[in-house]
Amino acid sequence: MTDIPLPNISDPLTAPHWEAAREGRMAMQTCSQCDYVRWPAAIACPECLNEGGVWTPLSGRGTIWSLAVYEQALHPAFEKWCPYSVALVRLEEGPMIYARMLDPPSVLACEQAVEAVFEEITEEFTVVTFRVVSDAT
In tens, the pLDDT along 47-72 reads 999 999 999 999 999 999 999 999 99
Say yes or no to pLDDT of 43 above 60: yes
Q: Collapsing DSSP states into helix, strand and coil, what is residue 21? A: helix
Amino acid 76: pLDDT: 93
Domain extent for 89: 15-132
Does some domain include residue 48?
A: yes
Segment 29-33 shows an average pLDDT of: 97
Amino acid 136: pLDDT: 53
Q: Could you give the percent of the chain with pLDDT greater than 70?
A: 96
Does some domain include residue 3?
A: no
Segment 86-105 shows an average pLDDT of: 97
How many domains does one find in the chain? 1
Does some domain include residue 73?
A: yes
Q: Which strands form 37-38's sheet, in the order they lie side by side?
A: 37-38, 26-30, 54-58
- What's this model's pTM, rounded to 2 decimal places? 0.92
Comparing CA positions, the residue from 104, 75, 91, 88 lying closest to residue 6 is 75
